[in-house]
Amino acid sequence: MDEELIRKVRDIVHESVLPLPDSFHSDDDLFHEGLESMALMQLILALERELHVTISPEDLGRENFSTLSGIARLVSRKSP
Q: What is the pLDDT of residues 9-62, one digit of tens each?
A: 999 999 999 999 999 999 999 999 999 999 999 999 999 999 999 999 999 999
Q: What pLDDT is recorded for position 80?
A: 79
3-78 adopts what CATH topology? 1.10.1200
User: What are the domain boundaries of the chain?
Assistant: 3-78
Q: How many residues does the structure list for the chain?
A: 80
18-39 in b/e form (b: 16+ CB < 10 A) is bebeeebebeeebeeeebeeeb
Contact at 8 Å (CB) between 48 and 54? yes
Half-sphere exposure of 61 (CA within 13 A, CB side): 7
